[in-house]
Copies of this chain bind each other. A is one copy, B any other.
């Protein structure tokens, strides 16, 4: 039979503030103040010492639930990703986790999938958990989920993908710049007819990499034929293979395919092989992201490296800053563009017409 009314003097259970106070012989409020570095100045040094010693001895840990209830701070940050199993998001989450741990925040992860409704639902749940801030890796270019969070005053930071609304803090890679690197590289190799495997236009990376690609073509004086651009329905290998197949069938004259993403590029490699073509002998293929182990595929993939881990760390710091700023009523939303670098491997080479 469990006792009805747990006795605060009873040891054996996890010590509470009240028990600690009883042990030291002061009031709970004094203990609370003594344990908080900020407020401990108003408590007599001798008392602070006794309280701290007792807390140490009894192994007191304040209950975060009770504290949250009172302070309205959960020290929890929510992260919504479209697909946890996507290798691109792993290092981002890792970076976030690392930066948050340093600030004594914990990370609640939710997998929202690619379906907008489910994403909203998961976000609602995260918010219901009273998270202090939200990091979204799911944002589409016009995202009302983002808008709703902002309206509620919840600090939100986008990561990897941006929204069209520039008022929102976002940590992204310079997508257009990355494509410029790719096109410059291919052009330098001698390619003049380059195809593009675009990502979904509703996602900033898909849109920006495509427009970056087109701008770079012009910058290099290359023809920008819209027929040479094929958009994949999703960022998956299968979608990449299908789109590449279509592209190769329609425009057999192209000598290179610049994909918007490594997964699409891997799919493109499959399509190239399926057509009996060689990469890079017949067709060069490039990716974007430098996912782990794409250096080991056949052929090793030329791609654009993005520092995903750093991206995650920055995003975490940005939410924390936004939370502080909210207290100080000094909002400072800002988009940070990280500079990507080109990683040249064996999937890109001279065009076949130069080989002849």
Contact = CB atoms under 8 A, between A and B. Distances in A.
Interface of A: 61, 63-66, 68-69, 74, 76, 83-87, 89-91, 93-94, 97-98, 101, 104, 106-111, 122, 125-126, 128-130, 237, 266, 269-270, 291-294, 296-299, 309
B64 A130 contact: yes
Contacts of A109: 93, 97, 107-109
Contacts of A86: 90
Nearest to A296: B297
Work out how many copies of this chain go into the complex: 2
A109 B269 CA distance: 35
B292 A61 contact: no
Contacts of A61: 128
Contacts of A130: 63-65
Contacts of A90: 84-87, 89-90
Greatest chain B CB density within 10 A among A104, A106, A237 is at A106
Nearest to A262: B293
Contact of A107 (B98, B110, B296): B110
Nearest to A73: B65
7 contacts: A61-B128, A65-B74, A66-B69, A101-B122, A107-B108, A237-B293, A297-B297
Contact of A129 (B64, B83, B125): B64
Contacts of A292: 85, 87
Contacts of A85: 90-91, 94, 292, 309
Contact of A296 (B101, B125, B126, B266): B266
A53 to B, nearest CB: 20
Contacts of A291: 293
A266 B294 CA distance: 11
A64 B298 contact: no
Contact of A98 (B68, B111, B266, B269): B111
